[in-house]
């Protein structure tokens, strides 16, 4: 992949993501159980399996259409806040990456930045809020820094790996739980924000699911 990523390479990346979610589905649900409704792993796994089916049924011809399909499928199959957030990430990513192949590391990084900006705009996340932003931003910063140093795909991806860009520990996971739990408690005394609106939509979705 030294000259750039083809649509096939990028589809492999999506498939690897789907596999990672499937392999860690129980852990994701366990983490969600501490602060939410214990459905994150199951939700994401369902959404990504739907993505794999959609890719088989109507194979996308370009990088842009690939990520557009991923985003739209996640929005329509994953409930709660995760659907809109991951959907926005991939839709913005697809909108920025374009149709041309191969995709250079710089274009990949710029597209991912557009996706991450979309997540921030959608969820109003700020650094240190212990949201998905805090996992993605250090990785992307490390990727950008590697490219500035003249690194190619392989080295840049290696430097952006979670272990290098943002070491995660079980102590961090406990801290995430406490921080977010405090936020939820605190937010009940604040005026509604788009984040609250997302939570409200989630509740509405659950009500609709429970309604015959």
Burial class (CB in 10 A: 0-12, 13-18, 19+), 196: middle
Q: Least distance (Å) from Mg ion to the CB of residue 158?
A: 32
Check: CB of residue 96 under 8 Å from CB of residue 64. no
Pick the closer one to Mg ion by CB: 80 or 115: 80
According to DSSP H, which parts of the chain are helical? 7-23, 25-35, 40-57, 63-77, 82-97, 105-123, 132-148, 153-159, 162-165, 170-187, 194-210
| Nearest-CB residue for Mg ion | 36
List of residues contacting Mg ion (CB under 5 A): 32, 36-37, 39-40, 80
Q: Least distance (Å) from Mg ion to the CB of residue 45?
A: 13
Q: What is the Cα–Cα distance from 45 to 209, expressed in whole angstroms?
A: 18
Alpha carbon of 69 to those of 74, 93, 104, 107: distances in Å? 9, 11, 21, 19
Q: Nearest Cα to 114, choosing from 140, 138, 134?
A: 140
Place of tokens 């697809």: 94
Pick the closer one to Mg ion by CB: 9 or 30: 30
Structure tokens that stand for 204 in this block: 């509405």
Q: Least distance (Å) from Mg ion to the CB of residue 209?
A: 13
Pick the closer one to Mg ion by CB: 38 or 145: 38
Q: Least distance (Å) from Mg ion to the CB of residue 79?
A: 8
Q: Least distance (Å) from Mg ion to the CB of residue 39?
A: 4
Q: What is the Cα–Cα distance from 163 to 35, expressed in whole angstroms?
A: 25
* Residues facing residue 5 across a β-bridge: 103
Pick the closer one to Mg ion by CB: 11 or 32: 32
Q: Least distance (Å) from Mg ion to the CB of residue 28?
A: 10
């Amino acid at each position: 992949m030294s000259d750039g990523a083809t649509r096939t390479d990028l589809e492999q990346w999506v498939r690897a993501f789907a596999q990672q979610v499937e392999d860690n589905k129980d852990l994701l649900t366990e983490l969600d159980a501490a602060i939410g409704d214990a459905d994150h792993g199951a939700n994401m796994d369902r959404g990504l399996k739907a993505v794999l089916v959609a890719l088989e049924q109507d194979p996308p011809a370009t990088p842009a259409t690939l990520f557009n399909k991923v985003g739209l499928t996640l929005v329509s199959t994953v409930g709660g806040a995760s659907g809109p957030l991951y959907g926005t990430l991939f839709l913005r990513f697809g909108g920025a990456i374009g149709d041309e192949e191969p995709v250079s590391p710089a274009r990949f990084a710029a597209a991912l930045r557009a996706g991450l900006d979309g997540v921030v705009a959608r969820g109003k996340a700020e650094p240190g809020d212990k949201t998905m932003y805090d996992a993605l931003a250090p990785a992307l910063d490390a990727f950008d820094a590697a490219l500035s140093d003249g690194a190619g795909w392989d080295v840049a991806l290696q430097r952006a790996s979670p272990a290098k860009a943002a070491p995660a520990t079980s102590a961090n996971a406990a801290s995430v739980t406490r921080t977010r739990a405090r936020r939820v408690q605190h937010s009940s005394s604040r005026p509604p924000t788009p984040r609250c609106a997302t939570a409200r939509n989630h509740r509405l979705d659950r009500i609709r699911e429970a309604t015959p």
